[in-house]
Amino acid sequence: MASKPVVIVTRKLPEVIEARMTKLFNTHLRDNDAPMSKEELGKALGEADVLVPTVTDRIDAELLAMAGSQLKLIANFGAGVDNIDLDVAQSREITVTNTPTVLTEDTADMTMAMILAVPRRLVEGERLISMGRWRGWEPTSMLGHRIWGKRLGIIGMGQIGSAVARRAHGFGLSIHYHNRRRLPEAPEKVLQATYWDSLDQMLAHVDIVSVNCPHTPATYHLLSARRLALMRPQAYLVNTSRGEVIDEDALTAMLREGRLAGAALDVFEHEPAINPQLRDLNNVLLLPHMGSATLEARIDMGEKVLINIRTFIDGHRPPDRVIVKLM
């Protein structure tokens, strides 16, 4: 690999990161912030020594077949890597890295904000004001539900799920969780969290469900129509993870039929497309995938990308190398 490898970036990044990247490498930046087309991605894979995609770029087997032999690193600008066919990348001896940990606190903040927003009907209240329909304070108007004393069920007690639990505990929520593996006794005690081996049973017993697990083949539609039906009609669902974890059509039907009290969604199954029926509901908060959207987080992500590239170029193992788990 040349002393200054060709690094192709698929989307606009914070200016400070682009400036450092340009100084360090032979960097090809994106002139606009529109996603690359499949043809553009294929061309980039054929020319780059290092590709820096984002979570919106689907690097599948078909695209990886277009990669030149010089491509040795895909430094993903994002924590999730479900946008990359890791098995094919490994078979082609292409290392993949990501940007974990730096999004934890910001995503947990957003999750907590959404947990607060829907039971207290903040979306409905804002619409009432913006549409000029508010008549003043009334003792029985816009009554929501307190969250103090309610039961929060967290699906996926990793770094983000644990950060959500810490915040939620401060708001008086009782913490319950389902995870692939139970936490060790010490962190479970600190979080004052109750473990449920059965996701089905947890869903039937909590008031609010927060989805914080990654999207993998095993978690696709983890919240299926059957599982969503286990939730109580007065329960709320919050998702800041990945849209594919929830059967969005089933969720929409339940919300429209009043079989679920409300939902707050920052991610969608077919984003950026959103089921138009969801947009018509007053008991739903819809956000444009902004759970980690702080300037600090984006800069921290860029710093991780830079470190991963430099470490790899220097002949060492990148700190955030993604390991393909054998089934």
Which residues in the chain land under pLDDT 70? 1-2, 325-327
Say what the pLDDT of residue 324 is. 78
Task: Clarify whether 242 is annotated catalytic.
Answer: yes
Say what the pLDDT of residue 93 is. 96
Q: Cα dist. 34→10, 13, 55, 59, 78 in Å?
A: 9, 12, 13, 16, 17
Architecture per CATH, domain 6-102+294-313, reads as 3-Layer(aba) Sandwich (3.40)
Say what the pLDDT of residue 9 is. 98
CATH 3.40.50.720 segments of the chain: 6-102+294-313, 104-286
Element housing 190 (H / E): helix 185-191
Say what the pLDDT of residue 327 is. 39
**Catalytic: which of 232, 271, 303, 321?**
271
Amino acid at 100: P
Within the chain, what is the greatest distance between any pair of CA atoms?
71
**Catalytic: which of 145, 232, 256, 289?**
289
Amino acid at 37: S
The CATH superfamily holding the domain 104-286 is: NAD(P)-binding Rossmann-like Domain (3.40.50.720)
**Catalytic: which of 178, 215, 242, 298?**
242
